[in-house]
């Protein structure tokens, strides 16, 4: 990767990548699919759970029919036994974006994982490899003492990083602790040094980012979550969890904490009945969507002039009035380069 944009394609005329972001069950996939089908786009997964194989139902991955309507990338690619890092996703996403650009297609990055979008827009800090012993210590302490105790340990060792993390955020706490143990420096000090920088093509040309941000009413999301949960059960969610549990994987792995997995695992173990598992799962998903919505409202995925907010839950493009649909396409098409406009 070079440090400067390619001279044949100035910064202000770099290729466009469209971000479709918002909370779970807001209709991101439907919007991205509709735009990809009409604009000649490729939908690139930007959700940390939809990367895992074997969880197509529980993580609401696009169906085979939907994937036949437009190309989809990075869905169901990672084995649940292997944690997918942000760095892994970014590398794969940049490769898929470059491939879409080379084919004359519009990359449409769709998902609800804020740290993935941030890694694309701002870059990643390059931290040295962490010794396996440090990883095992962090996971062991998390399992034995819980996230609150690990947060307390981190507060003593790396108070600046600990202050940025919630005491319940087990995955990030374990990561921060293993970085401190493995490098002798706090994660916050590594972050302060900068890193890869915003997304670029292999020749160094910067991507131009424009964002469609979904921010539907809370009540619409609550209803959608309940309906989706019942649909998932009918589609085989319990069977997915049963197959996942049969592998005997480390419960600390991200895939084992996907929404619905802990609740259905408890149901299969006889601790809860179906109704209680559903109630707890929908409550957890609802709380998560609230945090997602708050995060997206306060983060800049693209410049304010390059961001269009949709205050509705999307089920398909035809739900919009002619005026609303016109606004969405006008926003996107005004930012798509000549090659994509002709797609």
**Is the pLDDT at 342 greater than 60, yes or no?**
no
- Predicted confidence (pLDDT) per residue in 182-238, tens digit: 999 998 888 777 677 889 999 999 999 999 999 999 999 999 999 999 999 999 999
Q: Helix (H) and strand (E) counts for the chain?
A: 15, 6
Classify domain 12-124+196-217+294-341 at the CATH superfamily level: P-loop containing nucleotide triphosphate hydrolases (3.40.50.300)
Helix (H, G, I), strand (E, B) or coil at 210: strand
pTM of the model: 0.80
- For every residue of 123-134, DSSP letters joined together read ----PPPPPHHH
The mean pLDDT value of the chain amounts to 89
- C-alpha distances (whole Å) from 292 to each of 154, 210, 285 are 25, 19, 10
Would you state the structure tokens that stand for residue 339, as one six-digit string? 């090659």
Strand 72-73 versus strand 41-45 pairing type: parallel
Does residue 27 have a pLDDT over 70?
yes
| Residue 280 CB neighbours (<10 A) | 16
**pLDDT band, very low/low/confident/very high, at 335 (cuts 50, 70, 90):** confident
Q: With contact defined as beta carbons under 8 Å apart, do 219 and 212 qualify?
A: no
**Of 50 and 132, which is predicted with more confidence?**
50
Confirm whether residue 23 is marked as ligand binding: yes
Who contacts 319 (Cβ-Cβ below 8 Å, separation ≥6)? 312
pLDDT at site 292: 94
pLDDT: which is higher, 34 or 325: 34
Helix, coil or strand: residue 16: strand
Helix ranges, 236-273 (H):
237-245, 261-268
> For position 325, what pLDDT does the model report?
85
DSSP conformation class of 216: -
Report the C-alpha gap between 116 and 246 in whole angstroms. Answer: 30
Residues in the chain: 343
Residue 330, pLDDT > 90, answer no
In order of 224, 311, 313, 333, the CA distances from 220 in angstroms are 6, 10, 7, 28
Per cent of the chain over pLDDT 70 is 94
Check residues 168 and 231 and name the one with the higher pLDDT.
231
- Both tokens of 298, joined, read 């306060």
- pLDDT tens-digit map of 62-120: 999 999 999 999 999 999 999 999 999 999 999 999 999 999 999 999 999 999 998 99
Q: Find out whether 25 is annotated in a ligand binding site.
A: yes
What is residue 8's predicted lDDT score, i.e. its pLDDT? Answer: 27
Contact 11, 17 (CB under 8 A): no
Is residue 26 a known part of a binding site? yes
**Whether 255 contacts 261, CB under 8 Å:** yes
Q: Where are the beta strands (DSSP E) in 133-267?
A: 208-214
Q: Is the separation of the CB atoms in 25 and 33 below 8 Å?
A: no
How far is residue 221's CA from residue 225's CA, in Å, rounded to a whole number? 6
pLDDT at 337 over 70: no
Which letter does DSSP use for residue 112 in this model? S
Is the pLDDT higher at 6 or at 81?
81
Residue whose tokens read 């002619």 = 322
Round to whole Å and give the CA distance between 49 and 267.
21
Q: How far apart are CA 164 and CA 153, in angstroms?
A: 14
* 8-25 mean pLDDT: 76
pLDDT recorded at residue 12: 46
Is 123's pLDDT higher than 90? no
Domain with CATH 1.10.20.140 in the chain: 132-191
* Distance between first and last Cα of the chain: 28
Q: How far is CA 218 from the centre of its chain?
A: 20
pLDDT at 37: 94
- 24 labelled ligand-binding: yes
Domain(s) of CATH 3.40.50.300: residues in the chain: 12-124+196-217+294-341
**What are 83's two structure tokens?**
């944690």
Task: With H, G, I as helix, E, B as strand and everything else as coil, classify residue 72.
Answer: strand
Consult the annotation and say whether 22 binds a ligand.
yes
Per-residue pLDDT at 5? 26
Digit-coded pLDDT (tens) for 239-295:
999 999 999 999 989 999 999 999 999 999 999 999 999 999 999 999 999 999 998
Q: What Cα–Cα distance (Å) separates residue 231 from each residue in 60, 143, 226? A: 10, 33, 9
User: Which CATH number, 1.10.10.10, 3.30.420.40, 1.10.20.140, 2.40.10.10, labels domain 132-191?
Assistant: 1.10.20.140
Q: How is residue 171 written in tokens? A: 């995955």
């Amino acid at each position: 990767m070079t440090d400067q944009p390619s001279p044949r394609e100035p910064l202000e005329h770099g290729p466009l990548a469209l971000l479709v972001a918002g909370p779970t069950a807001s209709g991101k996939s439907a919007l991205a699919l509709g735009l990809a089908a009409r604009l000649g786009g490729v939908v690139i997964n930007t959700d940390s759970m939809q990367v895992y194989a074997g969880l197509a139902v529980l993580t609401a991955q696009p169906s085979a029919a939907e994937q036949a309507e437009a190309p989809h990338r990075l869905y169901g690619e990672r084995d649940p036994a292997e944690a997918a890092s942000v760095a892994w996703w970014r590398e794969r996403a940049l490769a898929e974006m470059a491939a879409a650009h080379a084919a004359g297609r519009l990359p449409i990055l769709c998902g609800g994982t804020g740290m993935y979008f941030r890694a694309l827009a701002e870059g990643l800090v390059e931290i040295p490899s962490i010794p396996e012993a440090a990883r095992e210590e962090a996971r062991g302490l998390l399992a034995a003492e819980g996230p609150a105790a690990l947060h307390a340990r981190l507060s003593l060792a790396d108070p600046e990083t600990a202050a940025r993390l919630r005491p319940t955020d087990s995955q990030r706490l374990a990561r921060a602790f293993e970085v401190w143990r493995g490098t002798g420096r706090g994660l916050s000090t590594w972050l302060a040094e900068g890193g890869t920088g915003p997304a670029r093509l292999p020749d160094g040309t910067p991507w131009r980012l424009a964002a469609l941000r979904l921010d539907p009413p809370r009540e619409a999301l609550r209803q959608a979550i309940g309906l989706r949960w019942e649909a998932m059960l009918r589609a085989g969610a319990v069977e997915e969890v049963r197959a996942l549990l049969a592998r005997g994987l480390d419960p600390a792995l991200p895939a084992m904490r996907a929404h619905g997995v802990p609740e259905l695992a408890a149901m299969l173990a006889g601790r809860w009945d179906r109704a209680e598992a559903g109630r707890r799962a929908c409550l957890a998903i609802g709380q998560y969507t609230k945090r997602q919505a708050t995060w997206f409202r306060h983060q800049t995925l693209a410049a304010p002039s390059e961001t269009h907010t949709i205050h509705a839950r999307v089920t398909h493009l035809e739900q919009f009035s002619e005026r609303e649909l016109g606004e969405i396409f006008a926003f996107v098409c005004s930012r798509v380069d000549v090659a994509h406009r002709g797609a």
